[in-house]
Amino acid sequence: MKTMKMPIAKSQRGFSLIELLIASTVGLVVILALTMMFRQALNATFVVTQRAETQQNLRAGMELMMKDLSMAGAGLPSGGLQLATAGGATKVACNQTGTCYVPADTYPNTNFMYGILPGFANGVQNGTVIAAAPAATNDSITSIYCDYNFPLTNFKFTFPSTTQATVAVVNGAVTPNNILAPGGLNVGDLILFLIATPGTGTGSEGTSSALTATAVGEITGIPNNTEILFAAGDELNFNQPAAATNSLANAITTLGGALGAGNQVTACRLNAVTYFLQVPPAGGTVQTPRLMRQVNGLTAIPVADNVINLQFSYDVINSVAGTISPNQSNPLGAGLSPALIQKVNIWIMGQGLIVSGDKAQSMYLASSISTRNMSFCNSYSANTTVCQ
C-alpha cells in the first residue's frame, strides 16, 4: 500500500528592509520633484497673471490720461488766459471740503491758465514718500479744456448781478431746462464765459467792432435749474469779485453793466483735470499707492491701483531759438512757456499685489501724446519766429 506525500510549499523570499528603504526614498524623491514642479507651475501662472493685471491697470490709467491730454487747450483763448490776482493765487486740484490733493500747486506765472500745467516733483498727495518707487521724482499734471459733452450753447446766460447768472433754454433746445441733469453742472465746476458787446468799439477803418472779455468762474451754488452763483470765497479762488481786472465780475461790469443788456454770452464748462498719486491710510492693511483723477473742484477718484511712480517730460518750443527743447521734466523751471508744449511724454510704473519674495512684479509703461490744441510757433516767418 502506497502512502501519499503532501507537497511541501517552497518559501517565497520577500523584500529586505534595505530594499524597502531604497524604494521609499526613490518614491519620496519622485513625489518631491513633482510637488516642486507643480509649485513652480503655480508660481509661474501667478506671476503671469499678476503681470497681466498690472499691465491692464497701467493701460487703463494711461488711456484716460492720454484722452484728457489730447484735449488740452481746447476752447481756451490762444496762448492761455490771465486770471484775477487781487485775491491771491488760484488753486489747482482742491475739492469743496478744502482738501488740496497736490502740494503747493497754484496757477503759474502770476495766475495764468494754460492748457497744460506741469507739476514737477509734486505728484504725491501730502508729499508722502513711496518706498517702493525708484529713486525718481513723482509728478502731477493738469489738463484744461472745454467739456463739449455737456453743450452750454443750449442755454442763454444773463447776469442780474456780478456773482449770479440766470439760465434759460435757447429756442427750446433742451426741455426741460435742466442744468442739473446727470452729467450736468455741479458746485465746484468751472465755467468759461466769453462776453461780447457788439458795436461798442472802433475798428481799423472806423467801423464799429465788438469788445470782448473772457473770464472763468467757479460755481458756488445752484439753487435751482435757472440760477447759478459765483460768490466770493470759492475753494479754488477763481471768482474774486472784488478784483479790478480779469475776474468774471469785472467782465460783467465792464461790458454792459450788471444786466449785460445787449451782450452776447457764450459759455463752456471747463475740465481742469489733475492726475497724481495717493497713498491711502493703512486701516489695518497694507495700502499701495494708486493713480487719482481730480476734476475742477470735485472730489478725486481712483482710476488705477498699485501705481508707484508717475513721471512726465515735455517737448516745448523755445520761442527764442525757434527750436524744440525735448524731454523737459520741469519746463517752468527752465523758463519755457507751458503754452508752447507740443508733446507730453508719460512714464507710469505699477506694482503687483504681492510685493515680497520672487512674486514681486513691477513694470513701466511709457507713451507720448501730441497736444493738438496748444499754441504753435511759425518758424518760417520772414524775420523772427512767431509764437501764438
pLDDT per position in the chain (388 positions), as tens? 566 666 665 666 666 778 778 878 888 888 888 888 877 766 666 666 677 777 888 899 999 999 999 999 999 988 899 999 988 899 999 999 999 999 888 999 999 999 999 999 999 998 888 877 777 789 999 999 999 888 888 888 888 888 998 888 876 555 556 777 777 899 999 999 987 776 544 444 444 456 788 899 999 999 988 899 999 999 999 999 998 889 999 888 877 554 444 566 888 999 999 999 998 876 545 578 899 999 999 999 999 988 999 999 999 998 777 788 999 999 999 999 999 999 999 999 988 766 555 566 788 899 999 988 876 555 555 444 445 5
Q: Is residue 155 part of a domain?
A: yes
Q: Is residue 336 part of a domain?
A: no
Half-sphere CA count of 230, side-chain side, radius 13 A: 28
* Cβ neighbours, 10 Å, residue 288: 17
Q: Is residue 360 part of a domain?
A: no
Count of domains observed in the chain: 1
For 37-75, write each residue's pLDDT tens digit.
877 766 666 666 677 777 888 899 999 999 999 999 999
Q: Is residue 216 part of a domain?
A: yes
Q: Is residue 198 part of a domain?
A: yes
Q: Is residue 104 part of a domain?
A: yes
Q: Is residue 357 part of a domain?
A: no
State which residues form the domain around 165.
Answer: 50-312
- Alpha carbons 152 and 249: distance in angstroms, whole number: 20
- Rounded to 5 degrees, φ, ψ at 18 are -65, -40
Q: Is residue 70 part of a domain?
A: yes
Instruction: Please give, one letter per residue, the 3-state secondary structure of the chain.
Output: CCCCCCCCCCCCCCCCHHHHHHHHHHHHHHHHHHHHHHHHHHHHHHHHHHHHHHHHHHHHHHHHHHHHHHCCCCCCCCCCEECCCCCCCCECCECCCCCECCCCCECHHHHEECCEEEECCCCEHHHCCCCCCCCCCCCEEEEEEECCCCCHHHEEEEEEECCEEEEEECCCCCCCCCCCCCCCCCCCCEEEEEEEEEEEEECCCCCEEEEEEEEEEECCEEEECCEEECCCCCCCCCCCCCCCCCCHHHHHHHCCCCCCCCCEEEEEEEEEEEEEEECCCCCCCCCCCEEEEEECCCCCEEEEECEEEEEEEEEEEECCCCEEEEEECCCCCCCCCHHHEEEEEEEEEEECCCCCHHHCCEEEEEEEEECCCCCCEECCCCCCCEEC
For 164-208, write each residue's pLDDT tens digit.
988 888 765 555 567 777 778 999 999 999 877 765 444 444 444
